[in-house]
Amino acid sequence: MSDQLKSKLKELETKKKELQPKIDEINAKREEEIQRVNKKYDHLIYDVDYTARQLEDEFYNDLIKSFVQIVTREFDLKRSSDIYELTDEFKDYRQAIGQFDMFPEELINKLHRVINGEPIESIMYDLENIQKKYLRS
């Protein structure tokens, strides 16, 4: 009985060795297909992600441009008036812009300082540098 089991075990090992090249071939084909599928989906994911990043960058740039516009408008109003007070629009903008997490905290602080009495010129004369620093390509 023991010899019979040993014989069966040997036969099993022989069959495994005979089948191993076929298993290796199937694994290689599977790996090739996985790579092909991964490449296809990586490309699709990249395209979607790229579009999402473009939209995010566009929105972010719109936020920065709105900052430039409100500061410029406020500065122009100050220059055209003998008695100058911050407009409600400027104050409302400062409140509203805080809801956008992506809006730079540094710019919010600049707005806040102007509301607290710092002259608008402190931002106005730095707008070019602000745009260079914050606008995304």
Tens of pLDDT, residues 34-63:
999 999 899 889 988 999 999 999 999 999
Using the predicted structure, report yes or no on whether residue 29 has a pLDDT greater than 80.
Answer: yes
Domain extent for 95: 2-134
Domain total of the chain: 1
Neighbour-count burial for 43-79, b at 16+ CB within 10 Å, e otherwise = eeeeeeeeeeeeeeeeebeeebeebbebbeebbebbe
96-125 average pLDDT score: 94
Q: What is the pLDDT of residues 74-89, one digit of tens each?
A: 999 988 887 878 999 9
Provide the pLDDT for residue 74: 93
User: 0.75 cut: is pTM over it?
Assistant: no
The percentage of the chain sitting over the pLDDT mark of 90, rounded to a whole number, equals: 75
Question: What span, in angstroms and rounded, lies between the C-alpha atoms of 20 and 46?
Answer: 38
Give the pLDDT score at 110. Answer: 96
Give the pLDDT score at 12. Answer: 86
pLDDT attached to residue 79? 87
